[in-house]
Chain A
Amino acid sequence: MGFGDYFISALFLQAGYNSALVAIGAGLLGLSAGSAGAFIFLRKRALVSDAISHATLPGVGLAFIIMVAFGSDGRWLPGLILGSAISSAIGLLMVEWITRKTRLTEDAAIGAVLSVFFGFGIVLLTVIQTMSSGRQAGLENFLLGSTAGMLISEATTIAVAGAMAAGFVFLLRRPMTLVAFDPEYAATTGVNVRNIDLAMMGLALIVTVIGLKIVGLILIVALLIIPPVAARFWTNQVGKMIGIAAVIGGLSGYVGAVLSAAHAALPTGPIIVLVAFGFFMISALFSPLRGGLASALRHQRFQRRVHRRQGLLSLARREPIYDGLTIRILRRAGMIRADGVATARGRIAAEKAARDEARWAMARRMLPDDSTIERYDGLTPIERMMTPDQIAEIDRMIQNAQTTQGAKA
């Protein structure tokens, strides 16, 4: 069976019970990571989760050492998860404490906690390497994640915890949205902002510790950050954004786990992260709302309208046109001939543009403080902004101005 066949069968959960369970677990993990990450992203604290995830390492090491001291082989996943949760909670509280009690800013606190906890964790890992007892192999897998040789019980633990975290996000979505957007207002409505902030970070913590085995602690933060950033391209509504982030996170986890199951030697974390990045690229390029392609098209359309308008005004004033793009646009619209002389259609359109411009100029003089006129972009036909009565009034004023001018002359 080739890689392609294997991938397809794994994608539809037909490559064995174990890898199906791992894929579902990774999908649920991504789902909860994407939705929890959305709140953290909106609260602008994305990198706090980086400190949390790196701070898990000493906990993993200490839990291993303690479990070995009590005679087990030290690889019991719930024990390691508990240890990592405790140490990353300490890391999170340290970030909070440093930011609150000293003059250091949050980013400095994040960097300090991240590097020091990680460094200390590495010290513990080297201690473990020298220990004679315990099956130490596999602890490095917590750095980059690995689903190879994962036990069914472990996959189940991850799937259940991922589903629970997603449920937790659902329950807390209202206060978290409130705090993410307007903490002051949230406080006045009786929401305890600090607790909600802690709950948000607690969610990141839960996602991190259950993701340790699959994604690894260096890259788990990507699963919290990339899906919300990608989701932000598609919508301006918070509810939809969280949903989209959850879907992108879930798909990244699921597809990534399937891909890596087909390639057992590869670490799972990087693959999941790169799949998530793929979703980001698709969103950044193709989202109709804020995607690069859509804004490029919008920009081009606007540019064409400006050139067309300016070209027509030049025609009306009988000025020669030199700009290449303007000439091309007018030629294609059948407004001018190859030698630059206006066609019948062009003359009509030019007259209309000139009349429109004159009406706008008069409108500005008549109603200098009017907000509609202030917003005039130099392109919108006046008929779309004003009533026929108003336009008739403007025309009368133009007529008057011309007669007075004629009389003076």
Chain B
Amino acid sequence: MIDNLITALGAEFVQLSLTPIVIGTLAAIACALPGNFLLLRRQALIGDAISHVVLPGIVAAFLVTGTITAVPMMLGAGAAAIIAVVMIEIVKRLGRVEPGAAMGLVFTTLFAAGVLFLEITDTSSVHIDVQHALLGNLESLIWFDAEGWGSLVDPAALATLPPQLPRLAVVLIGIGLFIFLFWKELKISTFDAAFAGAIGIRTRALGFALVVATAVAAVAAFDAVGSIIVIAMFVCPPASARLMTNQLARQVGWSVVFATISAILGYVLAGYGPGWFGSPYAVSAAGMIATVSGVILILTCLFGPQRKRTGQQAEA
């Protein structure tokens, strides 16, 4: 058993599993952080909408540039996310419809357009398809040049880390900084937009900045882990955290904890779990991470100390 553990955490682990786990965790936290505020503002589904429109953005970027290098893809996806937010606003105003319907209309249409573009144009030379968009390729983000834990301090080996890792780290730091610097403003405008406006906080600009942060997180995470994790991490860890505490700072803390547990446990279960049942194959890590976050949510729904609405009896 101990031997198993040591081999499991040996050189092979560093090479094959360490980077996907770290990338998955970074992506999960990057999505969960803005998710906290989206949840409290009842905009939880913005993340859903944005992650659907990332696909057409990437396809459009590919059609324009002819390559699938990271920068144009991220720019295309970011542009698509902003176009989607603007379109939602237009449909909402023009049709005077509820936000949910406007959102559903816009993101299904854009997603459909993305799929169709993908099928019509010849993308056989490059690796983008719908499957990839949904599932990401977490399992393939391995660290070829790693020879063991020692590689973590070896600059030559570190230089060959999958590029998604440093990119996500930068995005995570950026989002963390945004939330840290605008903590007070975000908090006040989330709980009492009218009061925030009265004391001079530019609530609309802040709301837009939050959506942009969400889009950045979605796009960066999407490239590495696919849209399922993105949607699940925007909603599930913050929702579970919401049932644990009444304080925003603690809620954000819990959401980071839950996102980390989901990413690590999900990856381990997907990669090693089938082996415990004697199957040589692994299952989808992205799907498993989403599943674990769902299990955590169910547990907090059942046992979370603050699961009730204020004023409801504990056992009502």
Q: Tell me the bound Cα distance from A127 to B111 in angstroms.
A: 27
A-B contact pairs, 23 of them (CB 8 A): A44-B98, A103-B307, A103-B310, A107-B44, A108-B242, A109-B239, A111-B45, A111-B48, A111-B235, A111-B236, A112-B235, A115-B294, A116-B290, A116-B293, A218-B108, A219-B108, A229-B101, A229-B105, A269-B112, A270-B113, A271-B116, A273-B109, A277-B109
Contact partner of A119 (CB less than 8 A), chosen from B98, B104, B115, B228, is: B228
Residues of A within 8 A of B102 (CB): 229
CB of B284 within 8 A of CB of A222, answer no
Among A101, A110, A123, which residue has its beta carbon within 8 angstroms of that of B45?
Answer: A110
B102, closest chain A residue (CB): A229
Q: Is the CB of A123 within 8 A of B291?
A: yes
Instruction: Please classify the interface of chain A as helix (H, G, I), strand (E, B), loop, or mixed, using the class held by over half of its residues.
Output: helix
In the complex, which residues of chain A have a beta carbon less than 8 angstroms from the beta carbon of B131? 140
> From residue B148, how far is it (CB to closest CB) to chain A in Å?
29
Contact partner, B308, options A98, A102, A108, A280, Cβ 8 Å: A102
- Say yes or no: A114-B48 contact (C-beta < 8 A), given A101-B301, A120-B290, A126-B283: yes
Whether A148 is near chain B, meaning CB under 8 Å from some CB there, is no
Binds B, one of A45-53, A306-314, A394-402: A45-53
Please determine whether A119 and B287 come into contact, CB atoms closer than 8 angstroms: yes
Task: Digitize A216-242: 1 where CB-to-B-CB distance is under 8 Å, 0 elsewhere.
Answer: 001101100110110011000000000
Given contacts A229-B95, A229-B101, A270-B116, contact A103 B306 (CB under 8 A): yes
Tell me, in angstroms, the Cα distance from A228 to B101 when the chains sit together: 9
CB distance from B245 to the nearest CB of A (A): 12
Q: A222-B104, A222-B105 are in contact. Are A108 and B112 (CB under 8 A)?
A: no
B301 touching A102 by the CB < 8 A rule?
Answer: yes
A332 to chain B, nearest CB (A): 31
Q: How many residues of B contact A (CB 8 A)?
A: 66
CA distance A46 to B283 in the complex (A): 32
CB-CB under 8 A from B290, the residues of chain A are: 115-116, 118-120, 122
CB nearest to B301 among chain A residues: A102
Task: Mark B residues whose CB is within 8 Å of A.
Answer: 39, 42-45, 47-48, 91, 94-98, 100-105, 108-109, 111-113, 115-116, 119-120, 130-131, 134-135, 228-229, 231-232, 234-236, 238-239, 242-243, 270, 274, 279, 281-284, 286-291, 293-294, 297, 301, 304, 306-310
Of all chain A residues, the one with the shortest Cβ separation from B297 is: A112
Give the residue of A47, A122, A219, A266 whose beta carbon is less than 8 angstroms from that of B135.
A122
A387 interface contact, C-beta 8 A: no
A134 at the interface (CB under 8 A from B): no
Give the docked Cα–Cα distance between A218 and B297 (Å). Answer: 23
A266 to B39, CA, bound (A): 37
Q: For the complex formed, measure the closest distance between the CB of A362 and the CB atoms of chain B, giving whole angstroms.
A: 39
A123 B98 Cβ-Cβ under 8 A: no
9 shortest A-B CB distances, which residue pairs? A119-B290, A116-B294, A122-B287, A222-B108, A111-B235, A270-B112, A115-B232, A123-B287, A273-B112
Q: Which residues of A contact B228 (CB under 8 A)?
A: 115, 118-119, 122
Cβ of A143 under 8 Å from chain B: yes
